[in-house]
């Protein structure tokens, strides 16, 4: 299949360092604005874990020119939706609405960048909201296992702590911690603004200059420089807690988005568990085509697991490739582990077949097209890649997928899947006590 995706980008950088990327998409009378900051949980020091995410929450609570009680309603009056999220490398905010709302969307993002309030009462109120979010996550055994396995896989790098933070830090963080972090990282020269939709790029750049031009540049945020040392032996985590299902996970240190081995690893994952695409925002909402994949056949078709998944996400620095499985009721975690590792070892030894390579490429090319069906998704991908690497990596992704050879996948498998590079996790349920 020939790559069918072509993304024409218009970009500019304001004097204060704000990078702006515009893409015209005239298929609907909509515009999507995403403002990206190069700050995520990897930038957090001990004692302040979770601060990036908490700051994101605080940045919806009013600004100098948008009173607290008027935050809601501006975008809704244009039928729009807004949101934000924080992850390991990035914090981002989005509005998608009819194109008439472009000026309001840019106004909101310029206010968010420079003039959020951080009222002490709001900081306290949000503390309990975030702890509620954390506790809600702990209700999910699979999420708890993911958190523990990630923490075990990293010894030094700050990718080891969860984006939501550790509970004691959330209980002790102060308003000044939050506000100081906000001021250090929310500066135009640490941000990328992406606008996609039924817009005129010249008009967009003019409006962006009006709203963001007066915001002064700040001192470049100091980056933590820890590099995770090479893992030299297998690690294991076992959670024994009351529950009704058993979960298995194995993670491997994996290449970052800009690493030439990244795309071959994405192909490898597609062969192992079906292609998801590379859109953190939308790819994981629909089950991938995976019935012919190695792990599905080894675990689900044999009745050992009720579901399997693989995940490789573009990141700024080397993160993890994760394989997860839910043991079928009555099946031991040891059986799941044996079957999964056997399938992974087979690929480590022999790579994948030409048929698997072609199938993986077809799946990924189709996914790239499906993922480009909305201005919101397109804008997300441009901003995401620009924040963790460069937007060009996204624009050229289809072509780079097509160029991957069997040898490159085999090389990626050899580097990735060695036993000393893995951390294995079990959620081994204990019977639930009856009260």
| Residue 105 to residue 390: CA distance in whole angstroms | 24
**Based on CB atoms, which residue is closest to another protein, 172 or 420?**
172
- Neighbouring CB atoms inside 10 A of 193's CB total 26
**235 three-class SS:** strand
**Based on CB atoms, which residue is closest to another protein, 322 or 368?**
368
**Based on CB atoms, which residue is closest to another protein, 276 or 422?**
276
What is the DSSP secondary structure assignment for residue 278, as one 8-state letter? S
| Residue 64 to residue 71: CA distance in whole angstroms | 11
| Residue 303 to residue 320: CA distance in whole angstroms | 27
CB of 217 to another protein, least distance (A): 32
Which residues lie below 8 Å from residue 180, measured CB to CB, with a gap of 6+? none
Is 363:275 a contact under the CB 8 Å cutoff?
A: yes
Beta bridge partners of 249: 324, 425
What is the DSSP secondary structure assignment for residue 219, as one 8-state letter? P
**Based on CB atoms, which residue is closest to another protein, 363 or 387?**
363
CB of 284 to another protein, least distance (A): 12
End-to-end CA distance of the chain: 59
CA angle 113, 44, 123 (to 5 degrees): 55
CB of 46 to another protein, least distance (A): 23
**Based on CB atoms, which residue is closest to another protein, 205 or 366?**
366
**Based on CB atoms, which residue is closest to another protein, 110 or 326?**
326
CB of 13 to another protein, least distance (A): 30
Residue (of 338, 339, 275, 352) closest to 311 by Cα position: 275
CB of 374 to another protein, least distance (A): 5
**Based on CB atoms, which residue is closest to another protein, 29 or 419?**
29
| Residue 290 to residue 308: CA distance in whole angstroms | 9
CB of 421 to another protein, least distance (A): 28
**Based on CB atoms, which residue is closest to another protein, 103 or 373?**
373
Residue 374 has, within 13 A of its CA and on its CB side, a CA count of: 13
| Residue 43 to residue 221: CA distance in whole angstroms | 10
H or E stretch covering 381: helix 375-388
CB of 129 to another protein, least distance (A): 5
Which residues lie below 8 Å from residue 201, measured CB to CB, with a gap of 6+? 10, 22, 24
**Based on CB atoms, which residue is closest to another protein, 133 or 402?**
133
CB of 372 to another protein, least distance (A): 6
- The token pair at 223 is 């980056």
CB of 273 to another protein, least distance (A): 11
């Amino acid at each position: 299949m020939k790559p069918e995706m072509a993304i024409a980008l218009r970009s500019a950088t304001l004097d204060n360092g704000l990078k702006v990327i515009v893409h015209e998409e005239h298929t609907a009378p909509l515009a999507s604005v995403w403002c990206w900051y190069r700050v995520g949980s990897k930038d957090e020091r001990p004692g302040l874990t979770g601060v990036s995410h908490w700051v994101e929450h605080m940045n919806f609570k009013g600004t100098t020119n948008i009173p607290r009680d008027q935050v809601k309603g501006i975008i809704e009056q244009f039928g729009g939706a807004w949101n934000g999220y924080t992850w390991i490398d990035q914090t981002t905010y989005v509005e998608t609405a009819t194109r008439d709302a472009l000026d309001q969307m840019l106004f909101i993002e310029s206010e968010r960048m420079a003039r959020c309030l951080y009222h002490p009462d709001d900081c306290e109120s949000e503390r309990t909201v975030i702890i509620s979010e954390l506790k809600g996550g702990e209700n999910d055994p699979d999420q708890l296992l993911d958190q523990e396995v990630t923490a075990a896989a990293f010894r030094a790098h700050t990718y080891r702590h969860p984006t939501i933070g550790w509970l004691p830090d959330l209980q002790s963080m102060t308003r000044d911690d939050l506000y100081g972090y906000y001021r250090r990282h929310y500066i135009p020269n640490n941000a990328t603004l992406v606008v996609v939709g039924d817009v005129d790029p010249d008009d967009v750049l003019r409006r962006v200059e009006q709203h963001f031009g007066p915001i002064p540049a700040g001192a470049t945020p100091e980056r933590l420089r820890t590099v995770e040392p090479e893992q030299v032996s297998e690690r294991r985590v076992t959670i024994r807690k009351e529950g009704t299902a058993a979960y298995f996970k194995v993670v491997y240190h994996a290449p970052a988005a800009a690493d030439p081995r990244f795309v071959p690893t994405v192909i490898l994952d597609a062969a192992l568990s079906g292609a998801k695409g590379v859109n953190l925002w939308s790819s994981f909402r629909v089950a991938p085509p995976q019935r012919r994949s190695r792990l599905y056949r080894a675990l689900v078709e044999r009745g050992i697991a009720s579901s399997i998944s693989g995940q490789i996400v573009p990141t700024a620095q080397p993160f993890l490739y994760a394989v997860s499985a839910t043991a079928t009721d009555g099946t031991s975690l040891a059986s799941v582990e044996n079957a999964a590792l056997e399938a992974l070892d087979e690929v480590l030894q022999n790579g994948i077949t030409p048929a698997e390579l072609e199938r993986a490429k077809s799946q990924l090319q189709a996914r790239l097209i499906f993922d480009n069906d909305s201005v919101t998704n397109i804008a997300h991908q441009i901003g995401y890649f620009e924040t963790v690497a460069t937007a060009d990596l996204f624009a050229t992704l289809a072509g780079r997928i097509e160029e991957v050879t069997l040898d490159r996948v085999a090389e990626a498998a050899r580097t990735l899947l060695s036993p000393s590079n893995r951390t294995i996790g079990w959620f081994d349920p204990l019977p639930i006590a009856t009260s």
